[in-house]
Amino acid sequence: MIFAITNFAKRWAEVDFEGLFAFGLQTKDPKLSRHAMNQAINVAAKRDHHRALSLIDTIENEHLRREALCTVTLILSKNDPLATFAAVKKESLEDYYYLEVFRSWANNAPLEAVAHLATIPPREDRRNAINGLTQSWGSKDPEGTADWAIALSNRNERRQARQGIMCNVRDLTQGTQLLEKLALK
């Protein structure tokens, strides 16, 4: 039965995601409500992330709200990391969200991601942002990422960035060179 409901909800969301979302808010069945809202938010995030975020603001159940924010974060971070970053900061979301945002952001605009990293206070969120950044940027430009990591003033963040860079290295020669470069700092 859940398969049939999922397929129907997907079709409904494609035609009228706001109608499906409204249905999800008013139905008394918690599973059906969750399913309907997730499908609606998924489509809304792809079409109009501002509208998706405003729909999420109407969800009173904290668990469902965070689940919906996770969906939007994963979709939106690929297309508009700055808007996603703002939403994550506004909602004071868990550190996991920073990992996803900065992973996607660094994939397309690593220097922009680095600039916004500086606006996160040094705590768990920043640590996960560094992980996301080094995972993505480090796989594309390990040398540039290494130079950035070496310049970090915080010793723990520098160590963490170095670890993130080395996790992505596949070429043994390049890995040896990076290891020597990073180990000396």
What's the CA gap between 92 and 143, in Å, rounded?
33
Residues 32-47 pLDDT 10s: 888 899 999 999 999 9
Considering the entire predicted model, what is its pTM? Answer: 0.64
CB 97 within 8 A of CB 70: yes
Domain segments of the chain as ranges? 1-79, 80-185
Q: For position 18, what pLDDT does the model report?
A: 94
Integer-rounded Cα radius of gyration of the chain: 20
**Percent over 70 (pLDDT), the chain:** 91
CA gap 60, 118 in Å, rounded: 32
The pLDDT-based confidence of 126 (bands split at 50, 70, 90) is confident
Q: What is the pLDDT of residue 92?
A: 63
**Percentages helix, strand, coil for the chain, rounded to the nearest 5?**
85, 0, 15
